[in-house]
A and B are shown apart, each in its own frame.
Chain A
């Protein structure tokens, strides 16, 4: 509940303030967002499964973001930044879909 409210508040704040993304953050922000989304979907799924642990959520959220940023950073340094970004997005997308499917089964029993 708090998480949903905070998410909505953050979105509203972002659209109201409209800050410009600093250049050094530009390549990492989209990947970090996707990674964090993965953590959020995982958290929702765990909550519905009844095995939600705040510590696990917080750690997975932060580590997801950091690892995603690290992979993009490394890829940029190795000259395969765009490919690795794609790979990260694909992997995270698959996980998000898996979690979304689990959530769907919980909510709609289907």
Chain B
């Protein structure tokens, strides 16, 4: 009686116990799952953080001081290097400027010499001198005198008829058939001279000067001052056979 009466109650207890046990089991499993999930998360985060963070954060103070000293010394060395390189750069830039200035000066000298030698066309203020000698009275020396006078008055470029006058220019021939550097001239002779127009004019027309001499010989010399005269005749560069630059 008591046994049969007890049986269902005992079974109910067992079932309740089993349910409670299963509930506990589920809860524990869930808790374990959460904890291990947190662990996995933490591992991943730590691995990620460690791969990102620099290695310095894990070093001891002594090591850090040593590293800092090393870095300071290195920075000092690099600063010195920068200073010396800067100095070198300044020197090079300075020498570059000097070389440029020297080249500029050489270029200017070249241009001046080219004009004076007559190897390039020249333009500038000057005079146009016209010498009319219809009767052929003038000697070659008279024309040379005109050139000399112009030179003396500071003419920088002179063109005599078709010929650019230079240091080697020669007037040859006889009255009425004068040649300049081998080129035949015919009256009227036209001379272009670049220089201070007033000075050139005055030098030619000075009393007892070239103009006077030419007039007494029966020819006529007129000077016309111009703000711009261009000498287009050119000379070849004279080649030196014996003389060489002495350094």
A-to-B contact residues, CB < 8 Å: 2-15, 18-21, 26, 29-30, 32-33, 36-37, 40, 43, 54-55, 57-58, 61-62, 82
Contacts and interface: CB of A to CB of B under 8 A. Distances in A.
B25 to A, nearest CB: 7
B33 A5 contact: yes
A7 B46 CA distance: 14
Nearest to B59: A82
Nearest to A43: B32
Top 3 nearest A-B pairs (CB, nearest first) are A14-B44, A10-B40, A54-B28
Interface of B: 25, 28-29, 31-46, 48-50, 60
Chain B binding surface SS class: helix
A20 B45 CA distance: 7
A6 B46 contact: no
Chain A binding surface SS class: helix
A13 B32 contact: no
8 contacts: A9-B37, A10-B41, A13-B41, A19-B45, A29-B46, A36-B39, A58-B35, A61-B35
Nearest to A26: B49
Given A11-B43, A13-B44, A14-B44, 10 more contacts: A6-B34, A10-B36, A10-B41, A11-B40, A13-B40, A14-B40, A21-B49, A36-B39, A54-B32, A55-B28
B32 A58 contact: yes
Contacts of B32: 2-3, 6, 43, 54, 57-58
B235 to A, nearest CB: 86
A25 B210 CA distance: 111
Nearest to B38: A10
Contact of A15 (B35, B44, B50): B44
B56 to A, nearest CB: 14
B44 A10 contact: yes
B33 A3 contact: yes
Contact of A3 (B36, B49, B50): B36
A58 B31 contact: yes
Given A2-B32, A3-B36, A58-B28, A82 B60 contact: yes
